[in-house]
Amino acid sequence: NVQRLKTYKAKLVVFPRRARKSKAGDSTAEELATATQMQGPYMPISREKPSVELVKVTEEMKSFKAYNKLRVERTNARHIGARLKKAAEAEKEDKK
C-alpha cells in the first residue's frame, strides 16, 4: 500500500492555486500542459487473497476449551510475580 501511494504521488500533477504564483510542490508548466484528467478507477487496490488451509475437525479440537485455557493463562500471568516471590521466600526458609 505504501508503494502504491508513493507511485501515486510521483504521478500526481499539482496545479497552482494562482496562475501567476507558483509554490514549491506545484508541477512545472510542461507537466501542466500535458496533464490529462483521469476517469474511472485509477491505480486500484489489488488485494492478495490469503491462503486458507482447510482441515478436518478432530476430537481433540472439539474437546479443547479455549475460553478456559485463556482464563487459566491470564490468571497465571497475573499471579506470576507473587508466586515467584513466594517460591523465593520458601527457598530462603529452606536454607536456614
Please indicate, yes or no, if residue 52 is contained in any of the structural domains.
no
Structural domain for 70, as ranges? 57-96
Whether residues 63 and 31 fall in one domain: no
Please indicate, yes or no, if residue 45 is contained in any of the structural domains.
no
Please indicate, yes or no, if residue 44 is contained in any of the structural domains.
no
What domain count does the chain have?
A: 2
The confidence score (pLDDT) of residue 20 equals 67
Burial zone of 16 (CB within 10 Å; 0-12 exposed, 13-18 middle, 19+ buried) = middle
The pLDDT tens digits along the chain (96 residues) read 788 888 877 767 677 666 666 666 666 666 777 776 777 777 777 778 888 899 999 999 999 999 999 999 999 999 999 999 999 999 999 887
CA dihedral 6, 11, 15, 20 (to 10 degrees): 100
The confidence score (pLDDT) of residue 2 equals 82
The confidence score (pLDDT) of residue 22 equals 67
Please indicate, yes or no, if residue 75 is contained in any of the structural domains.
yes
Return the beta strands (E) in the chain as ranges. Answer: none
